[in-house]
Amino acid sequence: MIQFLGFYDYTVILTYLGLISSVLGMSQAIHGHYKTAILCLAVSGVCDAFDGRIARTKKNRTDEEKAFGIQLDSLCDVVCFGVFPAMICYLLGVRGALGLGLVFFYCVCAVIRLAFFNVLEGKRQQTEGGCNRIYRGLPVTSIAFLLPMAFWLQFIIPDLAFLFLLHVLLGVVGLLFILDFPMPKPGLKSILVLISVVGVTVGAIFAYTRFRVPSPTDYDNPIVEELLGEDDDAVQTP
């Protein structure tokens, strides 16, 4: 009889769907379809918001199943809310030494946070069980809310201001991932409000954003070029 590694039940379906959505979003971002990429990021955030709730509905989960769920969730989060948002920002113009430094910093901070979460959650499950009520630091899923909100501003602020905002976003959010401060975990009503806000934001992105972004073939940083007084011919309409 053929056997497969892992655990297969309804508790992990949303986690896999969130991962698939992010991988799809990466493929779209590479080809310049940033609207679809942001939508995929938002979908991954929605999946992550409910996968834990669904997993806890199965009352007879073994310790191995719980540990598998913790590891699986964090591994998928590395892709969905670590690599994927950083990739979007890079393709949008966060480049050069400054941009790549911030991309690296953001990804490293996301991995550190998720690894530390696995350690704490594994210990907590052994003694407490149930749902954790408090976050320590900013959860990585927050980028699924923050990046669409920042992206929406593109149609009302200049291109360089938008690129500067992306640089600041990666640096500040990455730092908040690893800062140790208590943050209450949102309840169901708060989650539904956040989803509604993101839904309206993504709708505005599809309706209004101009998408005047640097060409993916240009590796310079437009912000640095502007500060140095160089000609900025990297910004064009795809």
- Bridge partners, residue 136, by sequence: 182
Count of Cβ atoms closer than 10 Å to residue 24 Cβ: 16
pLDDT above 90 for 155: no
Characterise 70 by phi-psi region: left (phi > 0), alpha (psi -120 to 50), beta (else).
alpha
The predicted-structure confidence for 113-151, as pLDDT tens digits, reads as follows: 999 988 887 666 666 655 667 888 999 999 999 999 999
Contact indicator for 176, 138 with CB cutoff of 8 Å = yes
- Between CA 66 and CA 108 the distance in angstroms is 26
Question: Who wins on pLDDT, 179 or 213?
Answer: 179
Count of Cβ atoms closer than 10 Å to residue 39 Cβ: 22
What does the pLDDT average to over 103-110?
97
- Between CA 145 and CA 80 the distance in angstroms is 13
The predicted-structure confidence for 15-35, as pLDDT tens digits, reads as follows: 999 999 999 999 999 998 899
User: Which pLDDT does position 87 carry in this prediction?
Assistant: 96
- Between CA 67 and CA 45 the distance in angstroms is 21
What does the pLDDT average to over 189-216?
80
Residues 6+ apart with CB under 8 A from 72: 12, 15
Q: Which residue has the tokens 């590395």?
A: 78
- Domains of the chain from N-terminus onward: 10-236 (1.20.120)
The predicted-structure confidence for 68-89, as pLDDT tens digits, reads as follows: 888 999 999 999 999 999 999 9
User: Which pLDDT does position 54 carry in this prediction?
Assistant: 87
The residue type at 118? N
> First vs last Cα of the chain: how many Å apart?
53
Q: What percent of the chain has pLDDT over 70?
A: 83
Count of Cβ atoms closer than 10 Å to residue 112 Cβ: 14
**Overall pTM > 0.95:** no
- Between CA 153 and CA 23 the distance in angstroms is 25
Nearest to 195 by CA among 49, 28, 14, 27: 49
pLDDT above 70 for 90: yes
